Amino acid sequence: MAKLILNRLAKDFGTGRPAVNGFSLDVREGGFLALLGPSGCGKTTVLRMVAGFETPTDGSIHLGERLLADAAQSLPPERRNMAMVFQSYALWPHMSVADNVGYPLKVRGIKGDAYRRKVEEALAAVRLEAYADRRPANLSGGQRQRVALARCLVTSPDVVLLDEPLANLDRHLKQEMEETFREFHQRSGATMIYVTHDQSEAMALATDVAVMSEGKLLQVASPAEIYARPEGRIVGGLIGRGAILSVNCSMEANRQLTWDRIAPLLAGADGPPAEILVRQEDVMIGGEGVPARVVSSLYEGERYAAKLALADSQIVRAFSRTPVSVGESMNVVIRSAWRL
Ligand SMILES: Nc1ncnc2c1ncn2[C@@H]1O[C@H](COP(=O)(O)OP(=O)(O)OP(=O)(O)O)[C@@H](O)[C@H]1O
């Protein structure tokens, strides 16, 4: 196995604006990369170029030393030793679960004992041994997704590409499948690229999160790093449930601000215009803070999630253990913020 290197990758469908542009990224061997971004930003196009379903109009894709594609040449998908799992699962309805899983082996001419052993192993990896003879129609959504994963595992791919594989599942099943994906990643040792627009899914699963917008890569970092130190408004707005406040703030080196720095900003300090990201968990209700008014309050079971308007009408979010009601006035302290 080897590192997957995307170098200044571009794809222009001739629509006036390139779908992907100057996209450079190294995906470390055995890593689990989540590719996150708003709808239409080019995530699927990147994945399809890696898989070999699209040819780049510029740049290159290497797996280790091996050139997979550039503008002049492109290795066909079946010669890349990759597997792609789609949102739709794409299972054959007329085949049993075992036959679906074994299909990629048949295509490669693997038969007999080797075939049976690999299918059994792949089914065991997703805990579906007991369902080998069923048809996909007689399975739940989560089980179908596991068949698609087993089919992907059966050929021992170097790289597994997943395009919003959990988008059709309910919240409970999503959590269960996230666990299955983690196990799958550990067991297979494959490098995985996981496209999603759901930041909490990306944070829960990935070893690295790459955020893209309008065809470009904005930032790539570990989930903890990108949460703590997002670069710019788009990444800050996408990761975590924060609020972005416009203030005037001097551009000092330290971008992590504490209340003693934040309070003067809210009072209208001098300085160039800036934006600060305020996380929900850093907004404390009560104390010697600034006045705020509750504009919405949602009971989440273990706590209330409130939206609060500051004196200048800018909105922050906060959690409260005790009930808060719309229209209520209170003081808030923002104990920490990040200058974007
Ligand atoms: N075959 C195509 N021909 C022309 N334009 C295309 C083609 N495929 C994608 N695009 C355009 O390229 C841009 C990126 O599309 P892409 O599907 O990669 O986005 P995405 O980030 O995966 O979106 P989503 O989250 O909605 O699936 C979009 O503007 C889309 O309309």
Q: How far is the CA of 20 from the centre of ligand 1 (A)?
A: 9
Asked whether the domain spanning 241-339 has the same topology as the one spanning 4-231, the reply is no
Q: What is the pLDDT of residues 105-133, one digit of tens each?
A: 998 899 999 999 999 988 987 889 999 99
CATH label, 4-231, candidates 3.40.50.300, 3.40.228.10, 3.40.50.1370, 3.40.50.920: 3.40.50.300
DSSP per-residue codes, 166-225: TTTS-HHHHHHHHHHHHHHHHHH--EEEEEES-HHHHHHH-SEEEEEETTEEEEEE-HHH
Mean pLDDT of 14-33: 94
Measured in Å, residue 42 CA sits from the centre of ligand 1 at 6
Residue 190 has what pLDDT? 86
What does the H/E/C string look like for 77-105? HHHCCEEEECCCCCCCCCCCHHHHHHHHH
Sketch the domain layout of the chain as residue ranges: 4-231, 241-339
The pick from 36, 45, 46 for probing ligand 1's pocket by mutation, whose C-beta has the most ligand atoms within 8 angstroms, reads 45
Rounded to an integer, the average pLDDT of 322-336 is 95
List pocket residues of ligand 1, CB cut-off 6 Å. Answer: 13, 15, 19, 37, 39-45, 197
Residue 192 and residue 28: Cα distance in Å, rounded? 9
DSSP 131: G
- Largest Cα–Cα distance of the chain, in whole Å? 76
Q: Whose CA is nearest to atom 5 of ligand 1?
A: 13
CATH tag, 241-339: 2.40.50.140
* Residue 128 CB coordination number (10 Å): 20
pLDDT at 252 over 90: no
pLDDT in tens, 61-118: 999 999 999 999 999 998 898 988 877 778 999 999 999 999 999 988 999 999 999 9
Tell me which DSSP letter residue 137 carries: G
CA of 158 to the centre of ligand 1 (A): 25
How confident is residue 1, by pLDDT bands cut at 50, 70 and 90? low
Cα(195) to centroid(ligand 1), Å: 13
pLDDT, average across residues 249-258: 87
Distance from residue 19's CA to the centre of ligand 1 (Å):
6
Write down the pTM of the prediction. 0.85
Sheet holding 216-221, edge to edge: 82-85, 159-163, 191-196, 32-36, 208-213, 216-221
Residue with tokens 């989440």: 300
